[in-house]
């Protein structure tokens, strides 16, 4: 919008004012007061400096006031969002064996992989059921190689009791259709529009079966039913195309024929251990408890989604904890992350520890003004 300062002919300047520095406004002539009118109906002011012997300034620029705002102030909402973790839990027949994968005369009872795994999970989940939305998907779902499209327990808060009940009603007795289980779990999670970051936790005791490739010597009776390559590729596809990472726990699998397969799956899943093997080897109940504790700490308890959703790291002008700046730092500060349809910041190291221990109680992400 342009506003022009105009002089109309009915006003006549009769006073000369002497300004400091020798500038004067002198009496205007009728031609200066009432020159031909511009097309927009406004007129230009004519200034003269006789002491500089300059010609009159014609076509002087008009005064303008542009009231259009280039942007509006953003009022971002910062929300701490607990992650969804869907446990994809192997219920194959070999889970009846002990942790060395040996069968037991009359059954292994409390020493079976299944009993140790389920008992440990049941003891651990109540301690973290408010910070993580745990869910459960058993595989196979029915028969030897069938996998359902849903979860046995949908991810949600306070789910320890529901998961414990479901595990207590289940007995291991199937093949190991890992490829189908990973793809079905990812598709299911991708359809949950709850805004939470999503993860798969694969707990299995062996290499994938229900395929058509030749198994390693001594594995699965030598049958052509193994599916290692497809399972490894499935984990990578889920990570790369859906943005859903996979943690891999190997229950009683150390130094087994499936060791290399599980390690490759862990690497492709995006969260391998910084050790050998790359997956989490479970040799006893304490190993399983430690693995669950480590994973729970890693999966975004300090993830803060921002609305409106920032496009990238440059869209964030600052992060504060209780009003004090938090540095951008992958070790002890914040980093920009995207989780599915959401985006925000992840607090790391000391900053995350301070939030979880309530040294920091309020986190705020600031965005620049945005186009209206």
Residue 143: the pLDDT is: 83
Provide DSSP, 162-207.
HHHHHHHT----S---HHHHHHHHHHHHHT--S---EEEEEEESS-
From 343, 342, 291, 295, select the one nearest 316 (Cα to Cα): 343
Q: What is the pLDDT of residue 53?
A: 53
- pLDDT computed for residue 67 by the predictor: 38
How far are the Cα atoms of 1, 38, 66, 367, 370 from residue 69, in angstroms, in the given order?
12, 29, 8, 17, 11
Spatial distance between the Cα atoms of 295 and 299, rounded to a whole number of angstroms: 6
Query: Do β-strands 324-325 and 318-321 pair in parallel, antiparallel, or remain unpaired?
Result: antiparallel
Distance of alpha carbon 152 from alpha carbon 135, whole angstroms: 8
Q: What domains does the chain contain, in order, with CATH numbers?
A: 1-68 (no CATH), 81-298 (3.40.50.410), 302-366 (no CATH)
Greater confidence, 288 or 299?
Answer: 288
Residues 6+ apart with CB under 8 A from 275: none
Average pLDDT, integer, range 233-243? 94
Sheet holding 342-347, edge to edge: 77-80, 303-307, 342-347, 334-339
Question: Does the pLDDT value for residue 144 go beyond 70?
Answer: yes
DSSP for residue 370: B
Alpha carbons 120 and 280: distance in angstroms, whole number: 15
* pLDDT, position 40: 52
- Mean per-residue pLDDT, 306-333: 90
pTM over 0.75: no
Q: Which string of b and e fits 284-320 if b means at least 16 CB within 10 Å?
A: ebebbbebbeebbeebbbbbbbbbeebeeeebbeebb
Helix (H) or strand (E) holding 299: none
7 has pLDDT over 50: no
> Residue 239 above 90 pLDDT?
yes
Using the predicted structure, report yes or no on whether residue 238 has a pLDDT greater than 80.
yes
In this predicted structure, what is the pLDDT of residue 5?
37
Task: Give the residue, 188 or 216, on which the prediction is more confident.
Answer: 188
Contacts (Cβ under 8 Å, ≥6 apart) of 91: 114, 138, 139, 140, 170, 171, 172, 173, 174
Q: Rounded to whole angstroms, how far apart are CA atoms 224 and 213? A: 5
pLDDT at 134 over 60: yes
Q: How many CB atoms lie within 10 A of CB 247?
A: 27
Task: For residue 83, give both structure tokens.
Answer: 């992650």
Cα 279 to Cα 259: distance, rounded to the nearest angstrom: 9
| Distance (Å) of CA 132 to CA 82, 179, 273, 299 | 5, 25, 21, 9
> Which residue, 152, 205, 172, 167, is CA-closest to 92?
172
> Is 316 a residue whose pLDDT tops 80?
yes
DSSP 155: E
Q: Provide the pLDDT confidence category of residue 1 given band limits of 50, 70 and 90.
A: very low
Instruction: Express each pLDDT in 19-47 by its tens digit.
Output: 344 433 444 454 444 455 555 544 444 44
Q: What is the mean pLDDT of the segment spanning 208-224?
A: 77
| Closest to 94 measured CA to CA, from 205, 168, 180, 182 | 205
**Confidence (pLDDT) at 13:** 35
User: What's the rounded Cα separation, in Å, for the pair 87 and 137?
Assistant: 6
Helices 178-190/228-242 angle, 10° precision:
10
Tell me the longest C-alpha to C-alpha distance in the chain: 120
**Averaged pLDDT score across all residues of the chain:** 81
């Amino acid at each position: 919008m342009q506003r022009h300062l105009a002089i109309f002919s009915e006003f006549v300047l009769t006073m000369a004012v002497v300004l400091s520095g020798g500038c004067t406004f002198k009496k205007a002539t009728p031609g200066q007061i009432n020159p031909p009118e511009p097309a927009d109906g406004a007129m230009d002011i004519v200034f003269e400096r006789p002491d500089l012997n300059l010609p009159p300034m014609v076509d002087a620029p008009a005064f303008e006031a542009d009231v259009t705002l280039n942007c509006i102030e953003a009022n971002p909402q910062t929300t701490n969002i607990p992650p969804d973790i869907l446990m994809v839990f192997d219920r194959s027949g070999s889970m009846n064996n002990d942790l060395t994968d040996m069968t037991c005369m009359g059954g292994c009872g409390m020493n079976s992989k299944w009993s140790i795994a389920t008992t440990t999970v049941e003891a651990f989940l109540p301690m973290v059921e408010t910070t993580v939305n745990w869910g459960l998907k058993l595989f196979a779902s029915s028969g030897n190689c069938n996998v359902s499209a849903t979860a046995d327990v949908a991810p949600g808060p306070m789910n320890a009791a529901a998961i414990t009940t479901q595990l207590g009603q289940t007995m291991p007795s199937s093949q190991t259709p890992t490829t189908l289980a990973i793809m079905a779990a990812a598709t299911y999670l991708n359809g949950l529009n709850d805004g939470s970051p999503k993860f798969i936790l694969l707990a299995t005791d062996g290499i994938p079966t229900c395929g058509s490739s030749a198994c390693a010597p001594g594995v699965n009776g030598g049958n052509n039913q193994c599916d290692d390559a497809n399972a490894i590729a499935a984990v990578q596809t889920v990570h790369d195309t859906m943005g859903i990472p996979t943690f891999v726990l190997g229950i009683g699998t150390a130094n087994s024929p499936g060791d290399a397969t599980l390690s490759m799956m862990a690497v492709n899943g995006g969260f391998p251990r910084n050790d050998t093997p790359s997956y989490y080897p479970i040799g006893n109940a304490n190993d399983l408890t430690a693995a669950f504790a480590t994973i729970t700490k890693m999966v975004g308890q300090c993830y803060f989604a921002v609305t409106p959703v920032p496009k990238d790291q440059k869209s964030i002008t600052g992060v504060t904890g209780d009003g004090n700046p938090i540095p951008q730092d992958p070790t002890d500060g914040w980093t920009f992350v995207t989780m599915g349809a959401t985006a925000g910041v992840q607090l790391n190291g000391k900053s995350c520890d301070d939030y979880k221990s309530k040294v920091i109680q309020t986190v705020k992400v600031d965005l620049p003004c945005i186009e209206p």
